[in-house]
A and B are shown apart, each in its own frame.
Chain A
Amino acid sequence: MSIDQSTAAKVAKLARIKVEDDALPALADEFNNILGFIEQLNEVDVEGVEPMTSVTPQRLKRRVDEVTDGNQQDKVLANAPDAREGFFAVPKVVE
């Protein structure tokens, strides 16, 4: 499996990371290098083997669905790069 520049651009887009066009060839090379390393996994016979979801066999615990916390608007917004009138502010999203 080899990654070309347009695939690299697509991956960058999916990851929401801006990559300039002139950086795409080097990025594609890096991907190919890493994926080449990962290709070794194809040597392993995984027929009938379950993919691991949790390293310790445990059932995720449940709790009662109830409000246990709240009224912390100031704390929630304290680290926002742009907070106004009690809300997170972002650029216009109407298209």
Chain B
Amino acid sequence: MSDLNKLGLAEARDALRKGDTTSVELTEACLKAIDAADALNAFVHKTPDIAMERAKAADDRIKAGDAPSMCGLPIGIKDLFCTKGVPSQAASKILEGFKPEYESTVSQKLADAGSVMLGKLNMDEFAMGSSNETSVYGNAVSPWRRGNDEAQLTPGGSSGGSASAVAADLCLAATGTDTGGSIRQPAAFTGTVGIKPTYGRCSRWGIVAFASSLDQAGPMTKSVRDAAIMLEAMCGHDPKDSTSAELAVPDFEAMLTGDIRGKKIGIPKEYRMDGMPEEISKLWADGAEMLKAAGAEIVDISLPHTKYALPAYYVIAPAEASSNLARYDGVRYGRRAALEAGDGITEMYEKTRAEGFGHEVQRRVMVGTYVLSAGFYDAYYNRARRVRTLIKKDFEDAFAAGVDAILTPATPSAAFGLGEMTEADPVQMYLNDVFTVTVNLAGLPGVAVPAGLDSQGLPLGLQLIGKPWEEGDLLNTAYALENAAGFVAKPQQWW
């Protein structure tokens, strides 16, 4: 078989079980593709030795007839996941040299399912960003280009390295994490599939924390079927995360029938933003038509507090971040700033954090500190948490009225150029998350599905939002949309 790295998880799994290829061959093909793709800056710590060791072990298990669900499948891991003995820096200078003595629950589950780790993937620093431009490793680059224009485009963020690597066929799939859209926005920008499950589905243990009440891990893959396979391997109850749900994990792949007859799909009018590009509104309307043609009923719904989701998020997420990032003190792990004679412990903290955190992270930590400070806690933080209750209630009302899933655009535009937003104020960059952030605030599952190309040949995605714990049903609707949209475009190799 040729071009093994271009396979998806399901195809590769089936080929392995039939004996058409081996995990060692698959892994070698990916490692070769990775080494030829340094221009994308997607893999920032390569782990070929671990990969080959796991691939050989997987081949032995397959031969012995003892192959778990992802046996022998090579994947990439976002740098936010702690991986034992392998640098895990959250793309930050402050974690330079950090090699965890333990493995995150999600990456351990993926290893237990037989998957092969190829290395660690680029991202925005501490997952704070929408373009992968805040990384200490430098920008991750999208494999996509605007026609023949050589301008480098963003793969999105924060899971930019994951999106770039999957779209460029450097790995079969990758892990991502999503606090405000960090799986779904990069998936939409790169023509890949990304699902953020219900809050509590995946254990957060061992994942570097950004905003604990919003963070969730999820898969980034080449198809909806692959997302179902990988999500199942990632999720499940974990006693080490007190917010992890004690619920059985269904066989998500078995739920992909493509039959969505009689399902009610809501179209929220508040997502029709002023100045929405024509291409995005057409894509959205086309998506609704496709679901209707597949037998679903399309209904107009209202989610009245949508407008307040982004400002509420930019109180809650920085507040939680300022608390979570207080642990980076230059004492227990990572990097400590060089001190001058006479410097005390306060200077050590202040210099370490000034040197170790990038600009965007510093800004969010300080905004969080401010909204939590005496005198402002009620006016900002508590008010935002009240608005969050209302945002969640909007969705509950829609679901109570019989809606099974909600269809929206995934992003307000196609991918933009790296550097194009440098001069914009931070709020402009935050607007990237306008369609995705509501889902984190409400704790719901959301999936981005590639649905078309814009006039410049760049991928555009649609988002489906589901009911809590109903990822299986949501993935089935996504599967029907994927079938109808028939998105097959791939970036032309220039790297």
Contact = CB atoms under 8 A, between A and B. Distances in A.
Interface of A: 1, 3, 11-12, 14-19, 27, 30-31, 33-35, 37-44, 46, 49-56, 58, 60-61, 63, 72, 75, 78-82, 88, 90-93, 95
A44 B308 contact: yes
A42 to B, nearest CB: 8
A37 B212 CA distance: 23
Residue of B315, B335, B366, B389 with highest tally of chain A CB at under 10 A: B366
A88 B346 contact: no
A69 to B, nearest CB: 11
A80 B362 CA distance: 22
B334 A17 contact: no
Given A41-B380, A54-B213, 18 more contacts: A3-B370, A11-B369, A11-B370, A15-B366, A15-B369, A33-B425, A33-B427, A34-B314, A37-B430, A41-B308, A44-B390, A49-B390, A51-B388, A52-B389, A55-B442, A56-B243, A75-B101, A82-B336
B19 interface: no
Contacts of B308: 40-41, 43-44
A75 B343 CA distance: 28
Contact of A56 (B330, B367, B385, B443): B443
Interface stretch (B33-41, B351-359, B483-491): B351-359
B386 A49 contact: yes
B213 A34 contact: no
Contacts, number: 163
Given A37-B314, A54-B213, A90 B345 contact: yes
B293 interface: no
B199 A91 contact: no
Contacts of B383: 41-42, 44, 46
- The prevalent SS among residues of A at the interface is loop
Contacts of A15: 322, 353, 362, 365-366, 369
Given A15-B322, A41-B383, A49-B386, A80 B332 contact: yes
Contacts of A39: 311
Contacts of A53: 385
Contact of A55 (B310, B312, B370, B392): B392
A56 B200 contact: yes
A79 B357 contact: no
A14 to B, nearest CB: 5
Contacts of A17: 350, 353-354, 357, 362, 365-366
Contacts of A61: 239, 242
Nearest to A51: B385
Nearest to A49: B386
B307 interface: yes
Nearest to B97: A79
B268 interface: no
Contact of A41 (B239, B312, B426): B312
Contacts of B346: 16
Given A11-B373, A15-B369, A50 B386 contact: yes
A61 B237 CA distance: 12
Closest 4 CB pairs of A and B: A55-B443, A51-B385, A79-B333, A18-B350
